[in-house]
Amino acid sequence: MDTAEFRRRGKEMVDYVADYLDNVEQRPVYPDVEPGYLRSLIPAEAPLEPEKYDDIMTDVERVIMPGVTHWHSPYFYAYFAAASSYPAMLADMLSTAIGCIGFSWAASPACTELETVMLDWLGKMLNLPEDFIAGTEGQGGGVIQGTASEATLVSMLAARCKAVRRIQASNPEKSEADILSKLVAYTSEQAHSSVERASLIAGVMMKKVPADNNYGVEGAMLKRMLEQDKADGLIPFYFCATLGTTPSCAFDHTTELGPICNEEQMWMHIDAAYAGSAFICPEFRPLLNGVEFADSFNFNPHKWLLVNFDCSTMWVKKRESIIGAFKMEPLYLKHENQESGLITDYRHWQIPLGRRFRSLKMWFVFRMYGLQGLQDHIRKQVDLAKEFESLVRADSRFEICAKVVMGLVCFRLKGSNGLSELLLKRITKSREIHLVPCQLSTRFVLRFAICARSTESRHIQHAWKHITKLTSEMLEYRH
């Protein structure tokens, strides 16, 4: 493909993408294929001779689209939202064209510097404490990770390193292996599975803290566990709080938990993967109170802030605690500006070396929407969730299972779990709308998350009509 053809095909691709997104609601949101469906549709070997572009595009409809779950359909209500906007897509295209691997300032100064400033912009939108902002006298700053899972892992590894150094400083006779065997990380029983996974990778013990009746962890509960564990000779070193849990969008009590973590010299990381975006709205910002006690804070603009995947923003109060944990300095990565006192080498903040120019997406989106436009997006989606909640509440066959705070509604059919399980099976099979379940206490619960940017009231009304129709059919059939 030469430049002339690229220009032509590029314009065609923009049209294809625009048509796809404009009409995505007409496609079944959940694909009707069986595992292994794709292998039989394409050759077993890569082609020897070049093929025609038109043939590839024909195959996109023949091979790919039948197996796509359409996350940007307004009938997609599963998991949490995956952000999508046109400015982000265009910026991503530019990032791909620049194609730099910006692991250090020298590897692409704009890539490093724009990221630092975008994290400051976003940090200020969230009204984060100044300690987290790089462009101040503070020692903190932000970085883009690929995912919240990586942010949690990085924070846990940094905390592990800090704890070992602190303990060895006052007990030089203690071996690292001895200390590691006693370190304990804590998180809520409602935390995302990535937190426990981080502990498996980091090779440290993890304990789950029971949540209260609203599925948030209280300070007293953590305190009780810490006292017991310390009495047993263990060393608590890390707590991951969740703001907006995956099952029900519940909130840990960070204003109680933060002081405990600080007192115990434990690293507090806050995982607000989904809910974090909403904190740019003053009415939701109080839910972030307690962040002043945290060592690190993370959320995913790629979930709810119109910046396409991947873009998981993480801030630390003391960047040295991250950099100091992972620093490797081979000669080929060194450059003459790395001691400038500014953030120059994001390679020290993450697991991989390579990194894309992801801050371009933030820059385009923030400028094209403005803070107000982003707030409007969040508020509209919360309103849609409230609309769905009212529909559920008006039907006495159903119950709401958790407080609806943001864009997620947890609901179920009253009665046995089997009923809701059966209903979900029917919903999934219908392919008209898509949602996934969760477990709250012993109850099987359906999660209805407002996801696509294009979701409107008429989609919510249609989705509810569909759910009630399937419910009536199912209940009639059972009688």
Q: Please report, as ranges, the residues that interact with ligand PLP according to CB under 6 A.
A: 80, 147-149, 192, 194, 242, 244-246, 271, 273-274, 300, 312
- Rounded CA separation 113/335 (Å): 15
Tell me how far, at minimum, the Cβ of 274 lies from ligand PLP, in Å: 5
Tell me how far, at minimum, the Cβ of 150 lies from ligand PLP, in Å: 7
Peptide bond into 19 cis (omega under 30): no
Q: What is the DSSP string of 41-61?
A: GS-SS--SS---HHHHHHHII
Which C-beta is closer to ligand PLP: that of 346 or that of 464?
Answer: 346
Closest CA to 298 of 400, 195, 376: 195
Distances (CA, A) of 72 to 21, 83, 329, 425: 7, 9, 42, 22
Tell me how far, at minimum, the Cβ of 192 lies from ligand PLP, in Å: 3
Which C-beta is closer to ligand PLP: that of 73 or that of 194?
Answer: 194
Taken in order 314, 318, 322, 327, is the CA torsion positive or negative? positive
Tell me how far, at minimum, the Cβ of 272 lies from ligand PLP, in Å: 7
Single-letter amino acid code for the residue at 165: R
- Rounded CA separation 122/272 (Å): 14
Tell me how far, at minimum, the Cβ of 190 lies from ligand PLP, in Å: 9
Tell me how far, at minimum, the Cβ of 376 lies from ligand PLP, in Å: 23
Tell me how far, at minimum, the Cβ of 444 lies from ligand PLP, in Å: 19
Distances (CA, A) of 284 to 127, 172, 306, 413: 11, 46, 18, 30
Say what angle helices 148-170 and 193-202 make with each other, to 10 degrees. Answer: 40
Is residue 169 within 8 A of residue 247, CB to CB? The reply is no
Is residue 401 within 8 A of residue 438, CB to CB? The reply is no
